[in-house]
Every structure is written in C-alpha cells, then in structure tokens.
Amino acid sequence: MMAGIPRTLLLVAAGLGLSSACGQMNYDSERQAMLEELREESRQSEQYGAPPLSEPILEVIARVPRHEFVPEDLRRYAYENRPLPIGAQQTISQPYIVALMTDLAEVTKDDVVLEIGTGSGYQAAVLSEIAGRVFTIEIIEMLGRRAADDLARLGYDNVTARIGDGYAGWPDEAPFDAILVTAAPEEIPEPLIEQLAVGGRMVIPVGAEDEVQILQVLSKQEDGRVIVHNVTAVRFVPLTRDEN
C-alpha cells in the first residue's frame, strides 16, 4: 500500500479504472452484437425485396463510434438497432437504415456526396469513411453546430457542414455523385435532382408523415432522364423547410 493513501481509496480508484476499461469493452461487444443483428435484419428484409447489406458497408458501420453521436444519457443504447432522440424532435436513424442507405448510394472513394439533414452527424461520419468529400446541411442550428463540432472532434476532416434549408441543396458544390436525404419530403425536391451528377444516385425517403413512406433510389441517365426504384417502406421525420 502506498504511504498516506488508505487501502479503501486505492480499491475505489482501481474499481473506477476497471469500470472505464470494461465500459470500452462493452462498446466493442455491443458493436459486434449490433452487426450480427444487422446481418439478421438484412436476411429477413430480403424476403420483402430489400437488397442485402454488403460486408464492406457493415465494416464501415463497425468503425464509426455511434455512441459519440447520441446524447450522453442514452449512450448505453447506442448500439441497439433503433433510432434514438437527439433533441429538437429529431432522431439518429436506426443503424440498419443508415447501412442500407449508404449501400444503396454506391459511394466510392473519389465521390463528392451531399447529405440533407445532418442531424447527429452519424450518417455523415459513415459517408466520410468511403467518400472523397461530404457536404452536409442541417436546418436546425443547434443540431447542425453540435454535429459539426463532433465531426471535427472525431477527425472527420473531409466533411463540410453548414446550416441551411436542405430542400435547395448546395448548388455551389454541385454536381454530386450521390445525394442522401435523411428526412422525408412529400415530393422529391427538384433542386436536388438538378444537382445530381449524370450517373449519380439519390437515396431518399418520400411520403407524408402520416402516410406510408417509401425509400427510393433515383439514378440520373446520360440523357437527363431519372429512373426511380422503390426499395422498402420506411419511417422518417418530415423534411423541414425554411418558411422565411
């Protein structure tokens, strides 16, 4: 025993260190459990026409620390396969949906990607792992600033965030090889179609809040035509517009 330090305090200090280490181990084990759950949901969803999740995307999901993008008091639920509240009546999306949308976008390392609805920053972080550059827009200032801080703190240096109306897109940085929309408009915003590059893909949930929403994939052809593919029924918060 060290001189001047009671044995009980040493035991408490050791316990705190062990608890902290175990906490990190728990995140690791919970993350692996989440991946297995995502694989199982993917197998089940195939029966309803959804494409299977690819292993490379699941590996990306495994690398991104979802617990860093949820409120501290909810971190024990961070690796459960469900959405969680992040404030301002918004949520961090279910990991399966994040993985599915990322997979459907078919992003490559040289792509420039636009995300509409930064939210917690989690989807942007996932995209950052596989894209060249990511631009993300959030209309709710509190969420946008917090997400930008978290992304910078965690070293996602290829992500640029701004506060604004995502319906209008980001014309100064267009065209985009992929566009992901993480809130549901009732109709696909025309500015986003215009800002999608030829050969690009947009992944977007479409439908009113009180109706069935459909996750759609749009691909732009060389002649400017847009082909729309319905993937699966989903539930997203509505896409908020700037009324000013």
Could you write out the DSSP letters of every residue in 55-78? HHHHHHHHHS-GGGGS-GGGGGGT
Let me know the angle formed at the C-alpha of 102 by 96 and 107, rounded to the nearest 5 degrees: 160
**Which backbone phi and psi does 133 adopt, to 5 degrees?**
-140, 150
- Tell me the one-letter amino acid at 189: P
Let me know the angle formed at the C-alpha of 34 by 28 and 37, rounded to the nearest 5 degrees: 150
Q: Of the listed 93, 120, 128, 219, which one is catalytic?
A: 93
Residue 88, CA distances (Å) to 31, 159, 170, 197 in order: 27, 23, 23, 32
Q: Which residues pair with 162 in a beta bridge?
A: 137
- Tell me the one-letter amino acid at 42: S
54 catalytic residue (yes or no): no
For strands 196-206 and 176-181, give the pairing.
parallel
Q: Which residues are catalytic?
A: 93
